[in-house]
Chain A
Amino acid sequence: GEDVEQSLFLSVREGDSSVINCTYTDSSSTYLYWYKQEPGAGLQLLTYIFSNMDMKQDQRLTVLLNKKDKHLSLRIADTQTGDSAIYFCAENGSYNTDKLIFGTGTRLQVFP
């Protein structure tokens, strides 16, 4: 079946690195995504990784993919208070569908 799991909360001090983890079950996913959602708002795409890649770096963001363990992580370097939000990982599922399967989201709280 299709399932994406994330830890619910993460609290970090401003300036530290944050690591948000995600596990998924569908090994046929082509892409995996990280979205950010601020209170009352829609989802903002942060980054994505192709399933045959191990790592992708985009400015302060680093995505690591362990396809064998079906584990995805998002590292935010030099975390700022403006990074406080809910972060969702998502996979694009099987070949015969175009829907995204989302995790429950990780609430990141950054304190000074």
Chain B
Amino acid sequence: DTGVSQNPRHKITKRGQNVTFRCDPISEHNRLYWYRQTLGQGPEFLTYFQNEAQLEKSRLLSDRFSAERPKGSFSTLEIQRTEQGDSAMYLCASRKQGLDDSDTQYFGPGTRLTVL
């Protein structure tokens, strides 16, 4: 078990560009989550999937943000027309619903986005 992995670890982009991040969950974890963490704050929930279905989206997820999990394994988070306010750490987490009775979400190392 290699844990949750995220790529890239760091991304620097210019305002107005599109960026895409990838998350590979722990094998056999059917739930996958995206969170955003700005400096000095705790993570804030963005969205989550069960298999390929997107079950909940936060109001933080504006129409410039889109997340997919097409085959129920890895997920991508795309931000279109980035703004400086999008600069943050984007964290991915996963869990196996029903297997772990603590409902624990396991986090990846995050992708740090800097928008210039």
What residues of chain A have their CB less than 8 Å away from a CB belonging to chain B?
4, 30-31, 33, 35, 40-45, 48, 50, 88, 90, 92, 97-105
Q: Is the beta-carbon distance between A102 and B48 smaller than 8 angstroms? A: no
Q: Is the beta-carbon distance between A42 and B55 smaller than 8 angstroms? A: no
Q: Is the beta-carbon distance between A98 and B42 smaller than 8 angstroms? A: no
Closest 4 pairs between A and B when the two form their complex, measured CB to CB: A102-B42, A99-B45, A43-B107, A42-B109
Q: How many A-B residue pairs have CB under 8 A?
A: 60
Q: Residues of A contacting B28 with CB < 8 Å?
A: none
Q: Residues of A contacting B104 with CB < 8 Å?
A: 31, 33, 45, 48
Q: Say if the beta carbon of B105 comes within 8 Å of chain A.
A: yes
Number of interface residues of B (CB under 8 A): 27
Give Cα A42 to B43, complex, Å.
10
Q: Report the minimum CB–CB distance from B65 to chain A (whole Å).
A: 16
Q: Is the beta-carbon distance between A35 and B41 smaller than 8 angstroms? A: no
Give Cα A4 to B58, complex, Å.
17
CB-contact partner of A43 in B6, B31, B91, under 8 A: B91
CB-contact partner of B40 in A88, A97, A104, under 8 A: A104
Q: Residues of B contacting A98 with CB < 8 Å?
A: 31, 33, 48, 55-56, 103
Q: Residues of B contacting A102 with CB < 8 Å?
A: 42-44
CB-contact partner of B107 in A30, A44, A105, under 8 A: A44
Known: A41-B110, A42-B108. A97 touches B43 (CB 8 A): no
Greatest chain A CB density within 10 A among B6, B48, B55, B102 is at B102
Give Cα A64 to B16, complex, Å.
47
Q: Is the beta-carbon distance between A92 and B108 smaller than 8 angstroms? A: no
Q: Which residue of B lies closest to A33 (CB)?
A: B104
Q: Residues of B contacting A104 with CB < 8 Å?
A: 40-42
CB-contact partner of A30 in B43, B103, B108, under 8 A: B103
Give the residues from 13 to 46 in chain B that come closer than 8 angstroms, CB to CB, to chain A.
31, 33, 35, 40-45
Give Cα A1 to B56, complex, Å.
18
Q: Is the beta-carbon distance between B107 and A88 smaller than 8 angstroms? A: no
Q: A48-B102, A99-B58 are in contact. List 9 more A-B contacts (CB 8 A).
A: A4-B42, A33-B104, A44-B107, A45-B107, A90-B42, A98-B48, A100-B43, A102-B43, A105-B41
